[in-house]
Structure formats: structure tokens, C-alpha cells
């Protein structure tokens, strides 16, 4: 696999992802924010492919960019948030300035933490060659249904509770 | 021949997207946009988990991302139901005007 190709794709998708993230928080129309968020998710899916995680890249596109964003856009349409945006004025209140400063400090801390020691930790057994030989989904499934079986079952109960909660919340009281 | 992309590049992209999401949560007033920013932050964390998992030859990070996505889906279902309920009750979902729990 060509290294130059990796670099070009990485830089392009990383810049696009950051650009889309900035657009999400600066657009006034929530629909535009949602569409830029879809772009951001797709770029991150490409980064997953560069990191040799095809399974996660696919479910990122299907669940995040597909299912969750479809729900979000559906709710935006349903609530007609669009009408509120005319009264929405962008002004730099003290709270926003403080928020920006706090987020900058957060970013500085994250970068400091990353640069301090890059990925300490023991190497596992799943080398790229082994994953390529086994197949990504097969390797993930072999762990999911053995060592992570209990969290898997808990996740299924969580999803069930989520469904029931959503139905109960949106049901009209009589 | 160029070296491979080092993990620190991916981690910095992830940190940057996370920080931008945090800015969005702090400065936006629309509950739906805040919700989208939270999803963006979750996805940035997923990117750093996958990076660690790839460069440490392990699949634990991939499994963690799988569970984070499950939680995000459940959160989306319940959160959006709450927004619909709020809108029905109060006619707005701007967080400035939803202050029943404020003392």
C-alpha cells in the first residue's frame, strides 16, 4: 500500500472533517448543520478505512450518517426549528467568550496529553496481517461473542430500554 | 519513501474535532444543534479509540467503538423523543427558555 497515497487521503479527509465540524457549529440553519455533520461522519469513516477497520467504517456510515442523522433531520423538520432562526441573533455574549476559552484550554490539554506519550501500552495479538488473513468482521465477531459477550447482552437490553423509552415519551397522554 | 502516517496525527484530528464539538455545545442555544455536537464529540472519541486499536495491534478499541455506537443510537432515540415532548409542551427547544429545573 503506497504511503504517499495514505498521506494524501489522510490530509484531505482530515481537513474536510475539521472544516465540516466548524461549519456544523457556525451555520444558523439546523438543517445545514445536520448535513455538514453527515459530511463529517463520512470523512471519519474514510479515516477508519485508512486505519484498517472496515467493519467500523461501514457501521459508521450506516448507523451514524444513515440512521441517527436521518432521525435528527426528521425531528428538525417535525419541530419547524427553521422559524426560530429568524429571531436568533449571533452576538458575542460573555458566556460564549468563556465557553470558547474553556474549549481552547480543553484542546491544549488534549494535545499536551497526546504529545506527552504517544500510545503507551502493550501490543495485542491482532496484527494487520492476522486481521487480513481472518477477515475484519470475523475477527471482531470472534471477540464480540466470547470475551465481550456480557457487554453485548447489556447493549441489547439498553437498546430495548431505548425503544420503550422513546415510545413512552412520545405517546400522547390521555 | 515516506514514513507511515503516525498515530499522533489521527489523535490530533480527533482532539480538534472533540474541541470544536465542545465549543458548539457551549455556544449554541438550539437543543438539536447541541445534540448534534455531542454526537460529533462521540464520533471524535471513536476515532481515537480506533487509532489506538490499530497501532497497538488489538481489537479492544474496535469493540469499544461498537458499544459507543450502540449507546449513541439509544441516546438519539430517547433524546429526540424528549425534544419532541419539550416542543409539544413549551413550543420551543431553545435551551435558554427551558429552565424548569433551574432554581
Q: Are B71 and B46 in contact (CB under 8 A)?
A: no
Q: Which residues of A touch B73 (CB under 8 A)?
A: 63, 67-68, 159, 162
In this predicted structure, which of A12-26, A111-125, B3-17, B39-53 has the lowest mean pLDDT?
A111-125
Higher-confidence position of B98 and A45: A45
Here the ipTM equals 0.92
- pLDDT for residue A156: 94
Domains of chain B (ranges, CATH numbers): 7-97 (1.10.287.3510)
Of B35, B70, B77, the CB nearest to A166: B77
CA distance B73 to A71: 10
Q: Do B80 and A144 touch (CB under 8 A)?
A: no
Per-residue pLDDT band at B1 (split at 50, 70, 90): low
Choosing among B27, B96, B98, which should be mutated to test the A contact, i.e. which has the most A CBs within 10 A?
Answer: B27
CA distance A68 to A80: 18
- pLDDT for residue A87: 52
pTM of the predicted protein model? 0.90
- Count CB pairs under 8 A between chains A and B: 235
- pLDDT for residue B49: 94
Q: Do B94 and A84 touch (CB under 8 A)?
A: yes
- The residue of chain A with its CA nearest to that of B88 is A79
Nearby residues of B9 by Cβ (< 8 Å), 6 or more positions away: A10, A14
pLDDT mean over A5-16 = 93
Measure CA of the first residue to CA of the last residue in chain A; give whole Å: 62
Of A17, A95, A161, the CB nearest to B17: A17
Nearby residues of B11 by Cβ (< 8 Å), 6 or more positions away: A114, A118, B48, B51
Percent of chain B with pLDDT over 70: 98
CA distance A123 to A128: 12
**pLDDT tens digits, A83-132:** 545 555 556 678 888 888 999 999 999 999 888 887 777 887 888 888 88
Q: Do B13 and A14 touch (CB under 8 A)?
A: yes
**pLDDT tens digits, A35-64:** 999 999 999 999 999 998 899 999 999 999
Amino acid at each position: 500500500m503506497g504511503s504517499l497515497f495514505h498521506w494524501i487521503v489522510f490530509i484531505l479527509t482530515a481537513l474536510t472533517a475539521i472544516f465540516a465540524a466548524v461549519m456544523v457549529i457556525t451555520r444558523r440553519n439546523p438543517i445545514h448543520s445536520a448535513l455538514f455533520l453527515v459530511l463529517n461522519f463520512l470523512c471519519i469513516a474514510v479515516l477508519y478505512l485508512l486505519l484498517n477497520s472496515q467493519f467500523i467504517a461501514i457501521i459508521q456510515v450506516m448507523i451514524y450518517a444513515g440512521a441517527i442523522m436521518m432521525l435528527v433531520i426528521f425531528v428538525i423538520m417535525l419541530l419547524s426549528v427553521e422559524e426560530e432562526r429568524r429571531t436568533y441573533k449571533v452576538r458575542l455574549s460573555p458566556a460564549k467568550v468563556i465557553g470558547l476559552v474553556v474549549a481552547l484550554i480543553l484542546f491544549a490539554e488534549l494535545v499536551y496529553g497526546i504529545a506527552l506519550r504517544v500510545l503507551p501500552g502493550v501490543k495485542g495479538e491482532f496484527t494487520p496481517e492476522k486481521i487480513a488473513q481472518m477477515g475484519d468482521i470475523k475477527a471482531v465477531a470472534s471477540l464480540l461473542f466470547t470475551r465481550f459477550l456480557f457487554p453485548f447482552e447489556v447493549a441489547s437490553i439498553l437498546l430495548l430500554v431505548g425503544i420503550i423509552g422513546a415510545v413512552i415519551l412520545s405517546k400522547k397522554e390521555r | 519513501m515516506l514514513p507511515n502516517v503516525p498515530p499522533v496525527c489521527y489523535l490530533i484530528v480527533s482532539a480538534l474535532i472533540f474541541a470544536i464539538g465542545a465549543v458548539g455545545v457551549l455556544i449554541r442555544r438550539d437543543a438539536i444543534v447541541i445534540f448534534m455536537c455531542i454526537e460529533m464529540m462521540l464520533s471524535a472519541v471513536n476515532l481515537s479509540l480506533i487509532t489506538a486499536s490499530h497501532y497497538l495491534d488489538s481489537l479492544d478499541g474496535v469493540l469499544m467503538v461498537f458499544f459507543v455506537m450502540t449507546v449513541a443510537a439509544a441516546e438519539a432515540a430517547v433524546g429526540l423523543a424528549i425534544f419532541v415532548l419539550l416542543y409539544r409542551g413549551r413550543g420551543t427547544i431553545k435551551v435558554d427558555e427551558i429552565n424548569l429545573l433551574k432554581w
